[in-house]
Amino acid sequence: MTTGPDRDSANVSEDNAAPPKAVRTVALVATGEELVRGAIVDSNSAWLARRIRALGLELSEVRVVGDQQRDIERAVRELAERVDLLIVGGGLGPTEDDRTRHALAVAAGVALASDPEAQAQLAKWFELRGRTPSPSNARQALLPIGARALPNSRGSAPGIALGMGRAACFALPGVPSELRAMFDEQVVPWLRTRLDRAPFCERLLQVVGLPESVVGERVARWMESPDPPGVSDTVRFGVVTLCVSDRDDVAGRARIEACVAELRGALGQHLFAEGDTTLAAHVVARLLARSATVAVAESCTGGLIAAALTDVPGSSQVFHEGCISYADAAKVRALGLSPALLAAEGAVSEAVARAMASAVRTKTGSTFGVASTGVAGPTGGSAAIPVGVVHLALAGPDGVRHDRRHFPGDRDSVRQFAVIGALDLLRRAIDAS
């Protein structure tokens, strides 16, 4: 193996005698025209972010640039001065627009040269597959002088490791399966000896039935505190997920435990689950535990409540049947509602929602029946029943419950909120009965 000053400075070589420098901060550069044109979503960075956090490291920044060499070069040069570890994804392919190796060489102030180790990896990869490398594949053996070639167990392009500024820099291929394998096989073992703090651990609290602003007020004391544990929230169609995180050591775990205990008190019955789960999965688990079943009669949600329930593996034990009674005639034919009731109350009404929930419960012999009827928009609203109004009903052994809700946003948003509202109504009925 060759050595060079840049490489030693950041300990990317395995055979360096000095004790390795601790790695604490990380940045990512994702490169590719398809990213800046929006043709694909940057899923590599989300995957790397999760891995990096689980290792106890702090991801300070992700930069997404196109395939212009000068843009990659500038991002690499700037970030190499700020963080301990820099991961570059993409731009290692065989074509003319793959410029990561050139950008790294310019940023490190060295030339490119064909690397014997990279040549051997490439030759082996093509030989194993009985394929002949094209002339352009020879480009993939070009490395900045002083860099180390990283084996690619899933594809042809070798990765690149080199020191740059204060950072160790690893360039990985952009193909997701190759990037992930190379990170786990090449970067993680290198990192293991360079972690000087306990990794992070986190606890998730799932909250429903409260607006984000109200959740925020109830947990403000913890969110605003600069001291650990950290508390942050994300919201998606009526479910607020709180993340309590701290170091995975004795003190950190104790702080998390104390914080979670207080949050439980502040959130009461709106805290429906702890951990990485969904409201649908929680409801299915609760039904399973009680050997209960649920059927749905959906109008405005058009199958989404059933889809959410059946998305949960094992849901066939608790969900047997559903009816999408979208038209008034379907509410009469399939559920047996009275045309007079529909005429008198209108399809979007408390009475019709209650009748739908009761009918589907009785007809299917389920423990619970859930129903939705509303105006998802964009048309169909009126002064009395504007777009976003949804009547939800739940029939169970203890009678029928009803919620009138007014959800914000477009058609998709109203429907997604209605699913969460319906599942929450079901959850409360299970807990109460």
Among residue numbers 44 through 103, which ones bind a second copy (CB under 8 A)?
A: 45-53, 59-67, 71, 75, 93-97
Q: CB neighbours of 289 closer than 8 A, spacing ≥ 6?
A: none
Does 302 sit near a second copy (CB under 8 A)?
Answer: yes
Contact yes or no for 134/94 (Cβ under 8 A): yes
Q: How far apart, in whole angstroms, are the C-alpha atoms of residue 164 and residue 84? A: 10
**CA distances (Å), origin 370, targets 27, 238, 301, 328, 329:** 47, 18, 11, 17, 19
The sign of the torsion formed by the CA atoms of 124, 125, 129, 131 equals negative
- Positions in 393-422 near a second copy (CB under 8 A): 406, 408-413, 415
Among residues 65 and 143, whose Cβ is nearest to a second copy?
Answer: 65
Q: CB neighbours of 46 closer than 8 A, spacing ≥ 6?
A: none
User: Can you tell me which of 3, 114, 234, 338 binds a second copy, judged by CB under 8 A?
Assistant: 234
User: Hey, how many other C-beta atoms are within 10 angstroms of the C-beta on 72?
Assistant: 27
Q: What is the nearest approach in angstroms of a second copy to the Cβ of residue 146?
A: 27
Per-residue DSSP letter, 229:
S
Does 196 sit near a second copy (CB under 8 A)?
Answer: no
Does 325 sit near a second copy (CB under 8 A)?
Answer: yes
Q: How far apart, in whole angstroms, are the C-alpha atoms of residue 224 and residue 138? A: 54
Does 262 sit near a second copy (CB under 8 A)?
Answer: no
Among 273, 344, 350, 281, CA closest to 318:
281
Per-residue DSSP letter, 370:
E
Q: What angle do CA 238, 239, 241 make, to 5 degrees?
A: 145
What phi, psi does 51 have (nearest 5°)?
-65, -45
Q: With CB under 8 A as the contact rule, which of the stretches 163-171, 185-193, 313-321, 367-375 interacts with a second copy?
A: 313-321
Q: With CB under 8 A as the contact rule, which of the stretches 135-143, 184-192, 251-259, 280-288 interacts with a second copy?
A: 135-143
Task: Kindly state the number of chain residues that form the binding site for a second copy, as judged by CB under 8 A.
Answer: 102
Q: What is the nearest approach in angstroms of a second copy to the Cβ of residue 1?
A: 27
User: Hey, how many other C-beta atoms are within 10 angstroms of the C-beta on 4?
Assistant: 17
Q: What is the nearest approach in angstroms of a second copy to the Cβ of residue 296?
A: 7
User: Can you tell me which of 223, 266, 285, 351 binds a second copy, judged by CB under 8 A?
Assistant: 223
User: Can you tell me which of 164, 172, 304, 385 binds a second copy, judged by CB under 8 A?
Assistant: 304
User: Can you tell me which of 18, 227, 313, 340 binds a second copy, judged by CB under 8 A?
Assistant: 313
Contact yes or no for 162/97 (Cβ under 8 A): no
Q: What is the nearest approach in angstroms of a second copy to the Cβ of residue 349?
A: 17
Q: With CB under 8 A as the contact rule, which of the stretches 2-10, 16-24, 213-221, 258-266 interacts with a second copy?
A: 213-221
Q: Which residues on adjacent β-strands are paired with residue 236?
A: 239
Q: What is the nearest approach in angstroms of a second copy to the Cβ of residue 288?
A: 14
Q: With CB under 8 A as the contact rule, which of the stretches 2-10, 112-120, 299-307, 425-433 interacts with a second copy?
A: 299-307
- Positions in 337-396 near a second copy (CB under 8 A): 364, 377-379
Q: What is the nearest approach in angstroms of a second copy to the Cβ of residue 271?
A: 17
Q: What is the nearest approach in angstroms of a second copy to the Cβ of residue 99?
A: 12
